[in-house]
Amino acid sequence: MQKSLRWYDGIFINIYYLGLTVRSQTLTPLILPLLVQQFVGEETKGSSYGSIRLYSLMIALLVQAVMGMLSDRSTHRWGKRRPFMLTSTVLETAAFIGIGVIAAQMEGQAGYAALFAAVLLSMVFSNIGHAAAQGLIPDLVPENQRGRYSGLKTLFELPLPLIFVSFFVSKMVKTGNYWAAILTVIITLIVCTILAMFVRETPQEKAPAPMDWPAVGRLAGMTALFTGVILLAGEAVKRLVPLAERLPGISRLLLTGAIGAAGMLAAVAVGVILSMRVSLGAEAAHRPAFTWWVVNRLAFLVGANNLASFLLYFIQERFPELRGSAAAGPSAFLVMIVGVAILAAALPGGWLTDKFGTKPLIAVSGILATLGTAIVIAAPGIPVMYAGGVLVGLGVGIFYSANWALGTSLVPREHAGRYLGISNLAGAGAGAIGAYIGGPIGDGAGFVVLMSIYGFLFLFSVLVLGRIKLDQPAETL
């Protein structure tokens, strides 16, 4: 039976995301690109970074989907979700200690290989808890309050950790003190997990249905298929980009950008549509709105996630005087500016979503993020770049509140963990598509071209909204 919510339940339901994002924002835009650059050198840093992101995120996709199914069926006396979250934090602590050892003691290709393996393990462990946490809002929050609770989720998932990482963790990374940064991540994860244990879950006496093991096989097939689509799109981009090198100046950059954008769009649309058919089977035909919601979410997140991922390399290209870890400070400060803007938009975005509906707010978010990216790219100096970051942050803050509220209204409640785990096609796929396809583009044509492609993906996410039909309830879509 669903318990009545108290004002502080929103904190306990969403606090776990703070630890998850401190982890990802320390590893992905700061520690990982610097270690890759240190281990493999300048010429292949983008491609090498992209490969780690692709395979680690595809593993995350499979783990999150399977763990979502398992947590849906959990009859543990603590509830459906919390045991998975606690286990995840214990294992993730061990993985981050391993990354610290690699950073301190290894070098060259051996260091890169060890880092690759450690990041894969980290993705497995963190997504055990992430999958379970995503089921808390559908489990516990009435539908007419999900906009504001999704806004609170956005607050803990984006601006607060971004500001925390920018003010504290980035300074540790900038000085090469990786161990201090890693210990900060571990402590944050532990504290957030302890607070999440106060969520008032009611244990279910028995699973709503037997474990669908064929569905696990379909999820594995979905992951393999989605990975294959990304690999094929990436290979096509790698083969076509050299054709653009024969053209002079701006024509070469425009053609390279068009090739990269086409490759990413194909991976987004084709990858999601085919993956849904494999993972959901016959259900996919009855839930087209859910499929197009994932396409919309994936297109937007390709831009949002990878702007941060390649920001350090982008700043090094635009401002050559900022080399190596010297770019970590401006990069982290821009991320902080984005985080403050997300903070300003997240809770109002949730309230506006409940008042005006999800799709209009999602459209506004895509337009704001597109304009902000254009300003970041064209900025003559870092201060103007910060102004663009404000618009990007406002767009991202609104998007996360409105898009998640839309998604939770499209999934069947008794299978929320499974469906929202599958929706990680967007979360994991964004980093994989943007990094694997984008890395070689950055190495070859520059990271300004790459950032332009990400801006185009924001705009594409707005166009997809027309395919999401809300004229049927989630249970009968």
pLDDT tens digits, residue range 294-321? 999 999 999 988 887 788 888 888 887 7
Higher pLDDT, 48 or 2: 48
The secondary structure of residue 298, as a DSSP letter, is H
Average pLDDT, the chain: 88
| 165 burial type by CB count under 10 A (0-12 exposed, 13-18 middle, 19+ buried) | buried
Would you state the pLDDT for residue 91?
Answer: 98
Q: By mean pLDDT, which of 38-52, 342-356, 386-400 is the weakest?
A: 342-356
Cα–Cα distance, 290 to 471 (Å, whole number): 13
Q: By mean pLDDT, which of 124-138, 260-274, 322-336, 420-434 is the weakest?
A: 322-336
Which residues have C-beta within 8 Å of that of residue 333, sequence separation ≥ 6? 166, 170, 386
Q: What is the pLDDT of residues 18-63, one digit of tens each?
A: 999 999 989 988 899 999 999 998 888 888 998 998 999 889 888 9
Instruction: State mean pLDDT over 418-441.
Output: 83
pLDDT classification of 324: cutoffs 50, 70, 90: low
Would you state the pLDDT for residue 99?
Answer: 96
Check pLDDT > 50 for residue 278: yes
pLDDT classification of 474: cutoffs 50, 70, 90: very low
The domains of the chain are located at 9-476
Cα-to-chain-centroid distance, residue 155? 15
Which residues have C-beta within 8 Å of that of residue 39, sequence separation ≥ 6? 48, 106, 107, 108, 109, 111, 112, 115
Single pTM value for the model? 0.76
Please calculate the CA angle 99-103-104 and round it to the nearest 5 degrees: 120
Which residues have C-beta within 8 Å of that of residue 414, sequence separation ≥ 6? 72, 208, 209
Q: By mean pLDDT, which of 121-135, 258-272, 378-392, 415-429 is the weakest?
A: 415-429
Task: Give per-residue burial for 9-32: e unless 16+ CB within 10 Å, then b.
Answer: bbbbbbbbbbbbbbbbbbbbbbbb
- Structure-block tokens of residue 333: 């400060």
Cα–Cα distance, 187 to 388 (Å, whole number): 33
Please calculate the CA angle 102-106-108 and round it to the nearest 5 degrees: 125
Q: What is residue 420's three-state secondary structure?
A: helix
In the CATH scheme, what is the homologous superfamily, with its name and number, of domain 9-476? MFS general substrate transporter like domains (1.20.1250.20)
